[in-house]
Structure 1
Amino acid sequence: MSTGAAPFAFVEAGADAACRAALDRADRLRDDPAALTALWLQARVLLLDDKGHALADADGNLRAPHGQDISEGPGGVGAAVFLGLDAHGGGWFALEAALTAFDAPRRVDLRSAAALWPAFEASVFAQARALQHWRSRHRFCGVCGGEVTLSRGGWQGRCQRCGAEHYPRTDPAVIVAVSDGERLLLGRQSAWPARRYSVIAGFVEPGETLEQTVAREVLEETGVRVRRCHYLASQPWPFPGALMLGFAAQAEPDVPQVSDELEAAAWFTREEVRAACARGEWDGADDDGEGPVLSPSISISRWLIEHWLAADADRHAR
């Protein structure tokens, strides 16, 4: 089964592409200012505004000029962050747009880019946005409050007062397609569009295994008891910095009872889920008022739902 365009590079466990990334992160170059400077002139530079939107052309396509057209090169605080090397050995950097004289007619947010841009460009944007978010929120040391300066191509912060080192943070979260053998468990939050449902998700807590997180989150949010689960796939989710770890779980056919985290939760038959998938991407227009609306195709949640449908169909075919 294919995962489609995989805008944020999620892949199913064991897939050939599982070890490939959009860019070679080239950690070996982060401590080599001469190498970064040599890459800069011909490198592509992804420019982000203060809201985390990427500069784009009039049609919404990525507009990443070469370093030689940008005023700021790789260096310390506020200068370009080294993202990595593409398949041709070309460098990619990210830079705050306000530091340049370069402008573009449009700004594109990350969710729009994930849906519309090629997977490579969307993945590079996701990497740049996550780093920008980390940098903007770690200007001062959490140990002593001293000012933090950046090194290693923008990937390491060091406190100028106590010397503590700081690194970009990724928060692990599980996301799980729960089945009782015949039905799929879906929940919805009150802030979502009407009738939008998704699989269950939650952050890993200290001292937990991923499997324990699956069981705890499903029980806390829906009152359903998980019997067993197994890992399927992962997807970076840079809103702002999560890593979604996808599971499939078998559970007791308990009646869902929601807490304050969800507005509703319910079991859905394969026929109901198949009909929801057939509705395609739904933008809230022409609402027929019938059946659940599923997560958009850029998310691993939609992939997990379709994976469950395919596995369920295969099980009944045997």
Structure 2
Amino acid sequence: MLNEKLEVFKAELSLKVKVLIIGAIIVGSTIGITTIILLIENPTSSSIKIGALTGDLHHLPLFVALEENFFADEGLSITLQSVSWFPNGNEVMIAFEAGSLDIAYLGLAPAMAHKLTQNAPIKVVGGVNVNGSAIIVSTSSGINTLNDLAGKKIAVPSLNNMQDFILQIALDSVGLSFNDLGSHVTLSVGNMENALNTGEIDGFVAWEPFNAKAINSIGATSLKNSSEIWPNHPCCIIAASNTLISTQSVTVEKLLKVHKRAIDWMSNTSNYDKLILTAKKYTSITSDAAIKMGIDNVGYIYNYSKYMPEIERFYDNLTQLNDNVPAWPAGRTAFFQEFFDSSFLNA
């Protein structure tokens, strides 16, 4: 009898059938059919669409979770093949807006910019890291100070992302602006090193490990680490779609639990050698020195509330310094209530 009801339930998901089954639960067979309802109303993790940035050392906790099978420990069927890889955070947000992603690792800047300009259907559910970027210049560029950036061609991964904002703050600190640059261009982080080496650009701002790799591979120079420009600035976060949060909150909680476990694992010095191997595997960088340098430039923190004042500062500057990113009509406090969901921080 139970098997027959299950077959009907699987064949037809109409409201009428659901009501009939709920009636059957009340009459009898409560435990068995209730379990099936929960499974179908809350799809398995195999349907979770997760995104991250290609080779981004900021997303090392995700690499660790994949490599150490932490997802499987939580009953989540997420593997390397499950991840959609993107060149930058703006592309991640476009995917969110198209309904192609459920959860992703990406920069705070594109997430916030798209929320403000497009009311993107996402919320920030966890932090990933602070710091982790740098202004890199070629030794032949003649750039030795921030003032020397005037008249130079500088590349960033994307407009209005954190690296672009770091450059803006650096320029502003010495009385310069984007208008004082010779050229302010966007370039994939994977192409920045070669463009610098061939003289196509004079410098770039990127996330790790691309800064460390350029220093290690072609002898480029770090003009300033982002932590020197803005100490403990926010960078990457985990964002989830509103739909995932409202329909599969338990899954979101498990994903955050995995993320926190990965960061705790990374902080254990006994795992350091394995951490380097994992970072090399997922970034395709073979140099231990470059990977170690890159990791040293990143601070991994899952609880974004610990650096909320810096996030508030970022919001203020993002909306005040960029004509194309308006402030939230109801104000910053109302925006943060809409943009952040702190209920998963204690997962």
TM range (shorter): under 0.3
Greater RCO (CA < 8 Å, at least 6 residues apart): 2
**Greater fraction strand:** 1
Greater gyration radius: 2
TM-score, normalization by structure 2: 0.20
